Amino acid sequence: MRDYDFVVIGSGIAGLTFAIKAAKHGRVAILTKRKGADSNTAWAQGGVACVTSDEDSFDLHICDTIEAGAGLCDPGAVETVVKEGPARIRELVELGLQFDQRDISGHREFDLGREGGHSKRRVLHVHDLTGHEIETTLLRAARSSPNIELLENHMAVDLITAAKLGFATEDHCLGVYVLDEVSGTVETLRSDRLVVATGGCGKVYLYTTNPAVATGDGVAMAWRAGAVIANMEFIQFHPTCLFHPLATSFLISEAVRGEGGILRNRKGEDFMSRAHPKGALAPRDIVARAIDAEMKRTGAQCVYLDITHRSREFLQERFPNIYETCLRNGIDMAEEPIPVVPAAHYQCGGIKTDINGATSLPGLYAIGEVACTGLHGANRLASNSLLEGLVVAHRACEAIVRHRPPAHPAGSLSLPEWVAGDTQDVDELVVIYHNWDEIRRLMWDYVGIVRTDKRLQRASARLRNLQREIQEFYWNFRITVDLLELRNLATTAALIVDSALSRKESRGLHYTMDYPEMDECLRRDTLLSVAS
């Protein structure tokens, strides 16, 4: 058993930011199931939306966010994140991050990008590798702190709570069981200040822009522990994932459309100009549905993103990673349009929290994409996610230090060690891989960009059977990372389907052909918990 003042599960922008700040107040463990840099943050291309220009304003950013959120944003959360953003950006710069700049009238200013749904240029970026640069900067700072222990190849299994231990008093989070992948043993980490920052669940879908680690682990663990989960029906499909057999999951940043890229069908027609007044700069849900509809209408496998009117020099300077990746795959984006398709990208729901990351389970906090603070509502405004990770991580640290949960201090409790029981090594890995593939195909076919009750009901019935099969497998065999991910994947998929079935309207990212209109009577969060 190990004791820490703070335990952070996840090593993306939110988890690392929290850990760096918390290390000033005690010992911190950061758990990451792969390497420290393996996170959704490292894959983020576009940048961080933040008001830094005199031509912009907090009110405009707030308005754009709320408009994208389709009536479900928490206005207080939006205002807090937007107004506290500049201070958090300054802290990143102080850590050594260098956002792109340009000369304006003899002095240097941020080179701000514009993306869909934004009324002004406000996206700070480092070429098209913003997330990678942020991850590198924060990891460097975390590794240099003597109070931070980074536990790589350590996967959280389950949260330890007072209720699970049979305490008669109010429930409380006390620690976490952790699988050390190298040794194959399960360790007990004890802390009554536990922060889930595990990112999203894109791998629930067959096609996604997310890395392999995005298997919904945090949401699934929190659900099993009894925390409230909110709005999981709102899964954002990024409109433009590179369509190429050798470059699956490669994102073509929305910033390409922000710099004038036009979406065309195979006849070369600008179909987005018919779909929305903002054309290719419409909010992501509208663009993704329009692409989906165009592909189904024409029978095409993809559409094309055309930015050939910009110079080769501009594209190489602004989008070096995208340019080189396309070129390696035989596509010269300066000479020909890029073939693209929509893919699962970002979960707007998650573990229900307040603006300080506090969940319904005392002692448990959630920050970053895994959390639902109310900022995104029914659809995330582009590049707001990294900003939210910075702001809420800062507020969570302040809140935890200021109000340490008084009940059940973990240090005074003897927590039981993990008991494997009479289990054996997995005898047929093909079962895990088959179930994994079946869930992802099921979700893509039945719970994708356009939904119906019939498809959702089919998905629900099959997922229930799969969960029973996986649970039996889980208890009969020694746990592995693959088995844990499959278990979490199935749980998260079922939460998405249950949430989608309960919303009898189309709002934001949830579009159903059975209820194509928005219903103001249903303007409320979808809340799920084990107790309900």
The distance of Cα 332 from the centroid of its chain, to the nearest Å, equals 30
Is residue 320 left, alpha or beta, with left meaning phi > 0 and alpha meaning psi from -120 to 50? alpha
Is 380 in the active site? Answer: no
On the CB side of 300, CA atoms within 13 Å amount to 20
Q: Which residues contact 330 (CB under 8 A, 6 or more apart)?
A: none
Contact 371, 353 (CB under 8 A): yes
Nearest to 194 by CA among 165, 226, 222: 222
**C-alpha of 29 from chain center:** 21
Residue given tokens 């987005």 in the structure block: 272
- Strands 371-372 and 338-347: what pairing? unpaired
d(CA 131, CA 153): 21
Instruction: Identify the H or E element spanning 3.
Output: strand 2-3
Among 284, 318, 380, 487, the active-site one is 284
What is the distance between the alpha carbons of residues 216 and 423, in angstroms, rounded to a whole number?
25
Give the C-alpha separation, 522 to 72, whole Å: 10
Q: Tokens representing 10?
A: 């996840």
Distances (CA, A) of 356 to 54, 66, 364: 29, 20, 11
**CA 318: distance to chain centroid?**
25
Which of 108, 142, 110 minimizes the C-alpha distance to 126? Answer: 110
Sign of CA dihedral 395, 400, 402, 405: positive
Of 431, 436, 491, nearest to 225 (Cα)?
Answer: 491
CA–CA distance, 9 with 504 (Å, rounded to integer): 34
Alpha helices in 376-525 (DSSP H): 384-402, 429-446, 453-476, 481-502
Nearest to 353 by CA among 227, 505, 506, 164: 227
Beta strands 2-3 and 185-190, pairing class: parallel
Identify residue 413 by its one-letter amino acid code.
Answer: L
The amino acid at residue 216 is: G
DSSP 180: E
Phi, psi of 501 (to 5 degrees): -65, -30
User: By three-state DSSP, how is residue 313 classified?
Assistant: helix
As annotated, the active-site residues are 284
